[in-house]
Amino acid sequence: MSCYNDLGRAIAAAQAGADYVAFGRFFPSRSKPDAVQAEIPLLGHARQQLELPIVAIGGITPGNGQSLLAAGANLLAAIHGVFGQPDIRAAAAQYAELFRNPD
């Protein structure tokens, strides 16, 4: 369930049986440049109140993704950061590394 920057929407989605919730955009995004801005602390508030996976979306790069994981995201959604790169496998490996080395 897409929740944008709305924790209440995420809580309602969880109560309705959602498998996961997604928040974002967190950073400027090429895919959805006009999407509502979500603030990183929202992930921590969601983590405290929800038991389902939390996805962070929007302008995520290997350079800024760790801050979202540290704040409470379980998953990162990236489009341009992977598919807009000359070497898709290498780009995907950079994101995977964020999950292997959380520091």
For 27-49, the pLDDT digits (tens) are: 999 888 888 999 999 999 999 99
Q: Is the pLDDT of residue 85 over 90?
A: yes
Say what percent of the chain tops pLDDT 70.
Answer: 98
For residue 74, the enclosing domain spans 2-10+27-100
Q: What is the DSSP letter of 52?
A: S
Residue 53 and residue 20 in contact, taking contact as beta carbons nearer than 8 Å? yes
How many independent structural domains does the chain possess?
A: 1
The more confidently predicted of residues 90 and 1 is 90
CATH number at residue 80: 3.20.20.70
- Cα–Cα separations (whole angstroms), residue 85 to 24, 92, 100: 21, 10, 21
